Structure formats: C-alpha cells, structure tokens
Amino acid sequence: MGQPVVFLESLDSKVKELFPLSDWQQTKTTLYDPEVEFSEETGGIWVRVKGQTWNWDERRYRYSVAMLTIPEIDTDTKTVRLPPSREIIWHLEDVPRLYKQQVMDMTYPIIIDTFHDRGFDDVRFERRPVYHE
C-alpha cells in the first residue's frame, strides 16, 4: 500500500461524516471527532474516537476509544469497508473505576453498529510520486 496519504485523507473525511453519534435515550453517550491513521506495524487502520457519557447523576465522563481494523479495499468500485474489530482499546483514565465497565458496555455496540456492513464510497487511491536518487 505504500504511504497511503491520499487514501487516508479521503477515508478520514468519509468517516468524519458519520459523527457525532449519540445514543442519547438509552445510554447518554456521544462519540465524536474521529481520526483515521495508518498503522505501519500491522498494515491496518486505527480509527480513534472521542467520547463522553453522562451518568445518572449527570456527571460527564470523557474518554477515547481506538479500534484497529484491516480495511477491505475494492479499487474497482473505490469502496472501502472497515470491518469492526475486537482490537478495541479504551482510554478511561478520567472515568471513575466504578463506571469503567459500564462505559465500555455502552460504547462497544455503538462502534460495532457504526462500522458493521458499511462501505465508504469514492475513496481516492492516487499515488503521489516518490523521489528516488
């Protein structure tokens, strides 16, 4: 894949169109401000999202979630799927220990549902020229 700069810029803008996502009635959870980053180590894509949850006592807890996914790319149709992954990392430092599992339980289905069976169309795959001496 090389350095997929144009691919990532294009995919990032497509993912940003999905957010913010809220499950306000059930969990008072909002996920927002996604970032897409290429993983040199795995060849996968990290999708990082910020989140906040209001508890029953109206305290707001902020956190972030990162999901590593291996993109399924169809260069003929310029469609990319980012299948949901079990490789999800929660950064819950600002969430009291009592609520950490609850935040994970509330956030997980939102992320899985968002990326399950969704293709991102018109993702650009241009290769930028690389200078060689």
CATH of the domain at 67: 3.15.10.40
Residue 40 domain flag: yes
Domain total of the chain: 1
What is the 3-class SS of 63-77, one letter each residue? EEEEEEECCEEECCC
pLDDT averaged over every residue in the chain: 82
Do 47 and 36 contact (CB within 8 A), yes or no?
yes
- pLDDT for 109 beyond 70: yes
How far is CA 36 from each of CA 8, 23, 33, 68, 90, rounded to the nearest angstrom?
7, 22, 10, 10, 16
Read off the pTM: 0.76
- pLDDT for 123 beyond 90: no
Tens digit of pLDDT for each residue in 53-87?
A: 887 677 888 999 999 988 888 878 878 888 888 78
Residue 91 domain flag: yes
Tens digit of pLDDT for each residue in 16-28?
A: 888 888 877 777 8
Phi, psi of 60, deg, nearest 5: -105, 130
The parent domain of residue 51 ranges over 5-120
**Lowest-pLDDT choice from 53-57, 87-91, 98-102:** 53-57
Q: Percent of the chain at pLDDT above 90?
A: 17
Residue 74 domain flag: yes
